[in-house]
A = this chain, B = another copy of it.
Amino acid sequence: MKRIITIGREFGSGGRELGRYLAETLSFAYYDREIIAEIAKRTSLSEKYIQHITEQKPIIPFPIHTGRTFWAAIPDYNQSVHQEQHSIIREMAEKSDCVIVGRGADYILRDSNPFRLFVYSDMDSKIRRCRNNDSSDYEAGEALTDKELARRIEQINTGRADYYEFYTGQTWGARENYDLCVNTGRYTDFKQLAESIAQFCSW
């Protein structure tokens, strides 16, 4: 069985960067936006549209429970994207040792014993990170005040939490769903941090 690391991450906490370094440190494949690109290839939908769908829970007319067959309850426009996403994540995990960022991969791959990492930080750190980092994590432009930026960060993270809960029936960021939860607020050298995390990973 391949060695898999899944990363859940708060927007602004640097989970993506950390994931890249972690993959580099361990010589694992790294999958993040590659998943979106692959779905786009298979469905002929635009990457932007897929990105939107895969970061929001679908709006459905009645409450459903996870752990049961519920695809039928999800609107068509979501259904194919999510089915593709599931298939692609499983394919990737079978192909080689890998790091997969976001997308509820910890839950999708729960039978493959993934090492489940969650990355977070305090709001001040997240704002600082968004301002100082030219990663595309922060697309909202420099014009936002700290308060507006904080609200935007909260919104994105609420979206991620809702999405995760909808598809897994678990609470996003609750310790019991992870093997290691790292607050990145104290760190600036993410390469070194990734090397420390690599020592924890155990299968």
Contacts and interface: CB of A to CB of B under 8 A. Distances in A.
Contacts of A199: 196, 199
23 contacts: A118-B175, A120-B175, A120-B176, A122-B176, A173-B175, A175-B175, A175-B183, A176-B183, A178-B181, A178-B183, A179-B183, A179-B185, A179-B186, A180-B181, A180-B182, A180-B183, A181-B181, A182-B200, A186-B202, A187-B202, A196-B196, A196-B200, A199-B199
A59 to B, nearest CB: 29
Interface string A140-181: 000000000000000000000000000000000101101111
Given A180-B180, A196-B200, 13 more contacts: A120-B175, A120-B176, A122-B176, A175-B175, A175-B183, A178-B181, A179-B186, A181-B181, A182-B200, A187-B202, A193-B200, A196-B196, A199-B199
A176 B118 CA distance: 12
Nearest to A182: B180
Nearest to A122: B176
A23 B122 CA distance: 27
Interface in A98-131: 115, 118, 120, 122
A185 B177 CA distance: 12
Counting from the closest, the 7 A-B pairs by CB-CB distance are A181-B181, A196-B199, A179-B183, A175-B181, A186-B202, A196-B200, A120-B175
